A and B are shown apart, each in its own frame.
Chain A
């Protein structure tokens, strides 16, 4: 068909294009927006991925991630109370779900190498520069400056800062983090980005921290499902957590984990400036 030149073929292709039917485009905008609210699905920056820290810090950072997680513990309560509590559970950025089967957990045995999408270890000043919210530190309790500060600029959106204090007299090491105290803060969106799931024999108490709502998790260890290095929430990325206070300060959501009583935890939380 030598009489056909390329211009004919091109013309025919343009004509074909006009009547070509692609399958309907799915509503990607809604799906994408929902995923962005969940947080990154991949390690945010190569820099974060390259970061190595001493083995001890590694486990601490694991705990830090818990702030952005699902936690699970079981509430010991009558079904009626359970429902009543469930209705009011949840803070900006963290939903709390009560009941359901406990998720499988990863080992938290010493030396477990959980290579998660951790933040970068930086100075407090650097962390403050990197995130879009004022980073609070405890003002009382004789804690002093944190021994280590981690920042993650992408998990969740808006960034997250983890402050870690080593265990010491009066600040016993958590069986779950090895740290004396771990405080995580991020700007929680009104829509929960993370779900805390409470199952088992744990206790969840509604508390007030400086007049704002919070929850104290205690009793049995509860579960946190955290994001792996790629930012994915996976069932196998679940660890046990000790006593934990989560609370809100304006549009900040904070989380404090350590072997502390409720009163001690609230006292530290309220001192944060």
Chain B
């Protein structure tokens, strides 16, 4: 098996057998995802690092209880998200995701003009601000779906809800986001980025 990266199941099996090296590979594979999930749930607080680290450590010790053959990602995310929620409860509440929109850097012939790029960036900022104005639950479900690109099972794990409720939670959140955008538009008309077909 030289050269072929081990898949999650193989690494989990080795880690269950006490192989800390195999677990380290898993941590590297999912540290971005875990940290970002913790960031979204802890409300952008610096506790995200703490929560993600703690989540990985707890997951290691919980490996004996991991059901062999089941997917690792949602299982891990449930643990990390729980850590993040605990920290959020004890910490101060933050009202947005504390994320930034990158500046568009136009390059090549197909790139928009600097003006168009600046406009697109501004529109994205407004959209992010609108997401930030949503309630915590709506904000999280949207971030999990679109910013973290989680599957439904993973969203349910991260949000601590039943898989069957994820879809309806998401569509309600999108409805409310649309309403917030409408209010924003009424105050300062703009168009949605990526929607100008």
Instruction: Give chain B residues whose Cβ lies under 8 Å from the Cβ of A22.
Output: 32, 35-36, 39, 99
How many residues of A are counted as interface, with CB atoms below 8 angstroms from the partner's CB atoms? Answer: 38
CB of A25 within 8 A of CB of B35, answer yes
Of residues 87 through 107 on chain B, the ones whose CB sits less than 8 Å from some CB of chain A are 99-102, 104
Minimum distance in angstroms from B137 CB to a CB of chain A: 16
B171 at the A interface (CB under 8 A): yes
Q: A residues touching B (Cβ–Cβ < 8 Å)?
A: 1-2, 4, 6, 8-17, 19-23, 25-29, 31-33, 35-37, 40-42, 44, 132, 154, 157-158
B57 lies within 8 A of A36 (CB): yes
Interface residue SS majority, chain B: helix
Q: For residue A6, which residues in chain B have a CB less than 8 angstroms away from its CB?
A: 171, 174-175, 178
Pair B35/A36 contact, Cβ less than 8 Å = no
Residues of B within 8 A of A12 (CB): 123, 127, 192-195
Beyond A8-B192, A12-B193, A158-B18: 5 further Cβ-contacts under 8 Å?
Answer: A10-B174, A11-B192, A19-B104, A22-B99, A32-B24
The interface residues of chain B lying within 8 Å CB-to-CB of A13 are 127, 131, 142, 145-147
Residues of B contacting A157 with CB < 8 Å?
18, 20
Contact A20 B100 (CB under 8 A): yes
> What's the Cα separation between A35 and B193 when bound, in Å?
44
Which residues of chain B are within 8 angstroms of A28 by Cβ–Cβ distance?
27, 31, 34-35, 49, 52-53, 56
Shortest distance from the beta carbon of B12 to any chain A beta carbon, whole Å: 15
Contact B146 A29 (CB under 8 A): no
Closest to B56 in A: A32
**In the complex, what residues of B have CB within 8 A of residue A32's CB?**
23-24, 27, 53, 56-57, 60
**Chain A residue at minimal CB-CB distance from B58:** A42
Q: Give the contacting residue for B99; candidates A21, A27, A132; CB below 8 A.
A: A21
Question: Which residues of the partner chain A approach B10 to less than 8 Å between Cβ atoms?
Answer: none
Q: C-beta contact mask, B52-90 vs A, less than 8 Å → 1, else 0?
A: 111011101100000000000000000000000000000
Given contacts A11-B195, A13-B127, A29-B27, contact A36 B146 (CB under 8 A): no
Minimal beta-carbon separation of B186 from chain A (angstroms): 8
A14 with B146: in contact, given A28-B35, A29-B27 (CB under 8 Å)?
A: yes
Report the bound CA distance from A4 to B100 in whole Å.
24
Given contacts A13-B127, A132-B18, contact A21 B101 (CB under 8 A): yes
